[in-house]
């Protein structure tokens, strides 16, 4: 049995025993996974606990874990997931790309993510680059805001041969399942009885992103390329935050039923 399938079955069992989950918009993702695409697929979500991935994917039908093309690739922090040979082998076989935080967007994991999309694969991003639980979100006039996205996703979409299908996601309740700041050993133990929510938004209209991609040419300066990358990243951030606001309210903290 493959590592992704084994982990998926474990997560599906967990969602049916130690916690409950409501799922919204799953047909959006299923349609993209089932379509005869020549381009890739990108999903992006907020990142609120250490169990977001893989537990989120327990909501998917098991059939998608029987085909490597419909199993997500994702980027994972080297200092968390690749700390010893056993972990390294496990996460590598689990389709997690080793990513070194702090060295920027030009590194092998981002190169590989672009290559995966160019070959029609699915890549998932937690583009905040780290866990940010809702009680830490910055607020202005009583409205919470999702922390900014790292620019790696902007580079990926600028350099992919064609734009992938892009599906924003919003997850809620995982921060209650695995709250940050607990002492050992409790920080490694999920809280049973927690209700979770996973929402898949409609695929983004790609016209705005395509127009942004076309603003850079082989003659563009590094500054012009960087500005376009920032604009693309901001567009994706707005899409995820808007989905979150529609599901979890102005504080981005409610877990919908």
User: What was the pLDDT predicted at 27?
Assistant: 99
CB 232 within 8 A of CB 59: no
User: What was the pLDDT predicted at 80?
Assistant: 94
CB 220 within 8 A of CB 49: no
Averaged pLDDT in 10-residue chunks for the chain of 257 residues: 94 96 99 94 98 98 96 97 97 97 96 98 98 97 97 98 98 94 82 97 98 94 97 98 98 95
Q: What is the pTM of this model?
A: 0.95
Q: Note the maximum CA span of the chain.
A: 57
User: What was the pLDDT predicted at 257?
Assistant: 86
**Rounded to whole angstroms, how far apart are CA atoms 241 and 168?**
9
User: What was the pLDDT predicted at 182?
Assistant: 83
Domains assigned to the chain: 3-248 (3.40.1130.10)
User: What was the pLDDT predicted at 56?
Assistant: 98
**Rounded to whole angstroms, how far apart are CA atoms 34 and 50?**
28
């Amino acid at each position: 049995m493959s590592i992704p399938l084994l982990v998926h079955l474990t997560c599906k069992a967990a969602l049916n025993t130690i916690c409950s989950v409501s799922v919204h918009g799953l047909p959006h993702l299923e349609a993209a996974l089932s379509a005869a695409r020549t381009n890739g697929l990108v999903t992006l979500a907020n990142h609120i606990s250490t169990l977001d991935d893989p537990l989120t994917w327990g909501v998917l039908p098991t059939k998608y874990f029987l085909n490597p093309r419909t199993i997500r690739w994702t980027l994972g922090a080297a200092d968390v997931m690749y700390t010893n040979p056993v972990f390294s082998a496990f996460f590598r076989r689990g389709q997690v790309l080793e990513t070194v935080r702090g060295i920027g967007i030009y590194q092998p994991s981002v190169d590989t993510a672009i290559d995966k999309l160019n070959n029609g694969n699915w890549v998932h991003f937690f583009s905040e680059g780290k866990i940010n639980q809702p009680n830490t979100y910055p607020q202005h006039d009583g409205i919470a805001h999702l922390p900014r996205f790292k620019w790696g996703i902007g580079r990926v979409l600028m350099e992919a041969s064609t734009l992938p299908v892009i599906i924003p996601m919003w997850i809620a309740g995982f921060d209650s399942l695995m709250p940050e700041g607990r002492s050992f050993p409790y920080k490694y133990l999920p809280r049973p009885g927690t209700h979770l929510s996973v929402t898949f938004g409609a695929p983004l209209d790609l016209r705005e992103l395509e127009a942004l991609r076309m603003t850079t040419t082989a003659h563009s300066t590094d500054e012009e390329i960087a500005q376009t990358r920032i604009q693309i990243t901001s567009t994706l951030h707005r899409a995820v935050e808007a989905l979150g606001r529609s599901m979890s309210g102005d504080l981005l903290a409610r877990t919908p039923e």
